[in-house]
């Protein structure tokens, strides 16, 4: 069974509901909800995961918060329990989300497959190995590391090509834009199983990107 096949739409709906309830409860009570037993039982396998908050019907970049764990070090339910709150109040790019704002926010959940190092003899090979809409990227050099999710080059009508995606990933890692051409910079790829609300508190869909 593939990673994608492990998660049904019903799983996505359950997890998105868990994210929203956890965030809104925290904003009201300054503490997380207790993880329900059915969530613990169903999602105990270890995964990396990101929670993204987007403003609904916002023109341009609608991002309001995004935090996650790259490596599969913790049970999925535990990661979501942690990063859902972090995405709302700890993203350094934004002020904390208010409870009132949650009426206008749609939640996106990205469950990550384990990162794989791309091995190349020439950096130009990245242009053929990386597929826009399928792959997320991690750039790593020394102590610097940055990640962009697979949906980033597609969302908000960006329409990036691979070299643009690589350059933005370098910037996320606080590296020069062309650092991907240096073979001492490690480039990893991963995929994401995506679920997203269509409207705030509305239907949840499975978001399929290019394969």
In CATH, what number is assigned to the domain containing residue 160? 3.30.1490.150
In this predicted structure, the answer to whether residue 211 has a pLDDT above a threshold of 70 is: no
Residues 150 and 109 placed together within one structural domain of the fold = no
Condensed to tens digits (0 to 9), the pLDDT of residues 176-206 reads 999 999 999 999 999 999 999 999 999 999 9
Residue 6 banded pLDDT, cuts 50, 70, 90: confident
Residues 197 and 177 placed together within one structural domain of the fold = no
CA 122 to centroid of chain Cα atoms:
29
Residues 69 and 47 placed together within one structural domain of the fold = yes
What is the reported pLDDT for 60?
60
Residues 108 and 120 placed together within one structural domain of the fold = no
Residues 60 and 158 placed together within one structural domain of the fold = no
Q: Could you report how far apart the first and last alpha carbons of the chain are, in Å?
A: 17
What is the reported pLDDT for 97?
97
3-state secondary structure of 14: helix
Condensed to tens digits (0 to 9), the pLDDT of residues 123-133 reads 999 999 999 99
Are 172 and 66 in contact by the 8 Å Cβ rule? The answer is no
Count structural domains, the chain.
Answer: 2
Q: Sheet containing 192-197: which strands, arranged edge to edge?
A: 63-69, 48-55, 105-112, 192-197, 204-207
Query: Mean pLDDT throughout 94-108?
Result: 96
Domain ranges, residue 15:
4-113+192-207
């Amino acid at each position: 069974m593939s990673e994608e096949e492990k998660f049904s739409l019903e799983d996505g709906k359950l997890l998105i509901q868990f994210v929203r309830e956890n965030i809104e409860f925290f904003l009201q009570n300054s503490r997380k909800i207790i993880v329900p037993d059915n969530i613990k039982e169903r999602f105990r396998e270890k995964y990396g995961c990101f929670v993204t908050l987007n403003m609904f019907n916002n023109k341009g970049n609608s991002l309001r918060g995004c935090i996650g764990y790259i490596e599969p070090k913790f049970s999925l339910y535990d990661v979501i329990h942690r990063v859902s709150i972090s995405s709302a109040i700890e993203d350094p790019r934004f002020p904390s989300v208010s409870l009132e704002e949650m009426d206008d926010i749609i939640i996106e959940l990205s469950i990550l497959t384990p990162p794989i190092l791309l091995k190349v003899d020439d950096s130009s090979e990245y242009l053929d190995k990386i597929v826009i809409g399928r792959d997320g990227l991690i750039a790593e050099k020394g102590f610097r590391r940055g990640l962009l999710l697979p949906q980033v080059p597609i969302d908000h009508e960006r329409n990036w090509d691979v070299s643009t995606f690589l350059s933005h990933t370098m910037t996320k890692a606080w590296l020069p834009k062309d650092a991907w051409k240096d073979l001492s910079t490690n480039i990893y790829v991963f995929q994401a199983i995506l679920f997203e609300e269509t409207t705030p508190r509305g239907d949840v869909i499975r978001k399929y990107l290019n394969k």
